[in-house]
Amino acid sequence: WLFFLLILVGCGEESKTTFSETDVKIIPRPSEIQFKEGAFRFTKDTKIVVANDQTDVTSVLLDKFSKAAAWDLEVVDTAPKNNFVQLSLDAAMEDEAYTLKVSEDKVVITAKGKVGFLYGLESVRQLLPVSIESNELVANVNWDIPTVEITDSPRFKWRGFMMDVSRHFFDKEYILATIDQLAFLKMNTLHLHLVDDQGWRIEIKKYPKLTEVGAFRVDQEDKHWDARFTPELGEKATYGGFYTQEDIKEIVAYATSKGINVVPEIELPAHVMSAIASYPELSCFQKPIMVPSGGVWPITEIYCPGKETTFEFLENVLTEVMELFPSQYIHVGGDEATKTNWKVCPDCKRRVKEEDLANVEELQSYFIRRMERFISSNGRTLIGWDEILEGGLAPGAAVMSWRGFKGGIEASEAGHDVVMTPTSHSYFDYYQGSREAEPMAWGGYLPLSKVYEFDPVVEGMTPEQAKHVLGGQANMWTEFMPDNAQAQYMTYPRLAAMAEAVWSTKANKDWVDFSQRVVSLFDRYDIMGINYAKSAYQVTT
């Protein structure tokens, strides 16, 4: 009996895990980590102590424990003697900063408000055993975390991920799941590329045909994307989808609850065949076209700047978009406009004269300036691809530099805010391993290590220019990503490298160290059921 009693007592007081410094595997790497020997153990009696109205952020931990441990941890407003996680307010801190102090008997997260607490809790999650990610009860796990003191804040305030939902459609559930993954890595911006030639993806009440017609196309997945296939009129459009305004509200609300801003992109004046298929009068010659299934190049059917009705349409669309998205930044695309039609369109020529422009090329700048006026008169800020710099840009507008860093450098010199998204470091539609071994991708080569090297501030920039660099972003163009599995494959783990590139200080970045931490992330992704690319890691280490 005594023997059994001893065993029972022994089990009850099983000693805590012995951690070493390398067990702290948080991605992105925090600014400062002080490791001390010891551990805090979560039990079913651990309390979550919240300040004021911060209850909603606790779901990060509560959900995990309710699934993996089948515990319903209690949220309280005053701290017990020990065994608790406390969220403690400090109004003097930066918006996204937090400190995390883990001792043997308690965990204290200090922050200015919701976002800092969220990040502190995400760090606690990453300190926990990987099986915390399980949706099912896991037996025989000690939910221990190492005693550490972490002081953390991001290097950049724009830590973004762009999803092209036009070339292929990804449903609301996939977007919500992506938001979870972004929050997990402390990313704060989701840029939705809602409009392109191959599909219009957002319901606009005033123009129902945009989604009735523009959101669907003839399914040509079996043909090579590059076949430059434009469907015959009359063929059945079966592939597509769009977000209703209710879906958008849900996406925005969910993202907001996770500290993520959703930036809508309404492309113009090119990459809009889906809109012109719906309303041909938006183009110069009203040629009837269908929504193309694959790439059409050059894109000749673009919006006509010669007609006032084009601008009326766009202002009406943007009005509905701004009602749905609280984002300060409204993205208007602006890339790759071929002006073939503008050169021969009488309305365009008239406009050039009327506005005293030197030539048709200047109509792009005219177009963007008009949109900028409209957007800023609504209290928002226009952002667009670096082509919007051509011919001069309104002072308040921001630039997303994709054709390398050049546009961003130039824009920052001219006093514009900049988000760096160069193809060289942030195009997730590029191959991440050797072509023979990888599924078909756009082209290029962007291994994990290259994403990791990304630095949005370019050497040689003046401090003044550097201040204009808001941050960086990964872009997921989905021409070759027909489904969720392929999109995940191209996103993960490169998103983790991007997260560290835009969060961690230069001094704190270390590729070898990251490549060790990322292995533990793979274990988490395995449990979450994420189809990440292992090749990215193997090829580069």
φ/ψ (deg, to 5) at 499? -60, -45
Is 336 part of the annotated catalytic residue set? Answer: yes
Query: Per residue, what are the HEC states of 384-431?
Result: EEHHHHCCCCCCCCEEEECCCCHHHHHHHHCCCCEEECCHHHHECCEE
Least CB distance to ligand TNX at residue 515 (A) = 26
Judged by beta carbon, residue 96 or residue 387, the one nearer ligand TNX is 387
Return the number of the residue (115 or 163) whose C-beta is nearest ligand TNX: 163
Question: In angstroms, rounded to a whole number, what is the distance separating the alpha carbons of residues 484 and 531?
Answer: 9
CB-count exposure of residue 318 (10 Å: 0-12, 13-18, 19+): buried
How many whole angstroms separate alpha carbon 75 and alpha carbon 84?
10
User: Would you say 54 or 475 has its CB closer to ligand TNX?
Assistant: 475
Angle at 227 between CA 226 and CA 232, to 5 degrees: 130
Shortest Cβ distance from residue 265 to ligand TNX (Å)?
A: 9
Residue nearest to ligand TNX (CB): 477
Q: Which element (helix H / strand E) includes 515?
A: helix 511-528
- Shortest approach of ligand TNX to residue 474 CB, angstroms? 12
Nearest approach, Cβ of 471 to ligand TNX (angstroms)? 17
DSSP state of 303: B
Q: Are 423 and 401 in contact (CB under 8 A)?
A: no
Catalytic residue among 315, 336, 410, 413: 336
Which residue lies nearer to ligand TNX by CB, 38 or 439?
Answer: 439
269: which 2 tokens?
């004046």
Burial of 464 (C-beta count, 10 Å sphere; 0-12/13-18/19+): exposed
CB of 337 to ligand TNX, least distance (A): 11
Phi, psi dihedral angles at 282 (to 5 degrees): -75, -15
Instruction: Give 243 or 477: the residue with its C-beta nearer to ligand TNX.
Output: 477
Shortest Å distance, C-beta 233 to ligand TNX: 25
- Nearer to ligand TNX among residue 133 and residue 387 (C-beta): 387
What is the chain's alpha carbon radius of gyration, rounded to the nearest angstrom? Answer: 25
CB of 73 to ligand TNX, least distance (A): 44
Please report, in angstroms and rounded to a whole number, the separation of the first and last CA atoms in the chain. 55
Q: Which of 84, 75, 323, 73 is nearest to 202 (CA)?
A: 323
Closest approach of ligand TNX to the CB of residue 400, in Å: 8
Long-range residue pairs from 442-445, CB within 8 A, at least 24 positions apart, any chain: 442/477, 442/479, 442/480
Pairing of strands 106-111, 84-89: parallel
State the minimum distance, in angstroms, from the CB of residue 512 to ligand TNX. Answer: 30
SS3 label, residue 455: coil
Residue 510 burial (C-beta neighbours within 10 Å; 0-12, 13-18, 19+)? middle
Beta pairing partners, 265: 193, 331
Q: Which is nearer to ligand TNX, 151 or 338 (CB)?
A: 338
Q: How far apart are CA 166 and CA 168, in angstroms?
A: 5
How far is Cα 423 from Cα 444, in angstroms, rounded to an integer? 9
3-state SS track over 177-214: HHHHHHHHCCCCEEEEECEECCEECECCCCCCHHHHCC
CA distance 437 to 223: 21
The nearer residue to ligand TNX, 65 or 239, going by C-beta atoms, is: 239
Positions in the binding site for ligand TNX (CB under 6 A)? 335-336, 385, 402, 427, 429, 442, 477, 479
Hey, how many other C-beta atoms are within 10 angstroms of the C-beta on 222?
5
Q: Which is nearer to ligand TNX, 113 or 391 (CB)?
A: 391
Least distance CB 335 / ligand TNX (angstroms): 4
Task: Select 75 or 296, whichever has its Cβ closest to ligand TNX.
Answer: 296
Q: Which residues are annotated as catalytic? A: 336
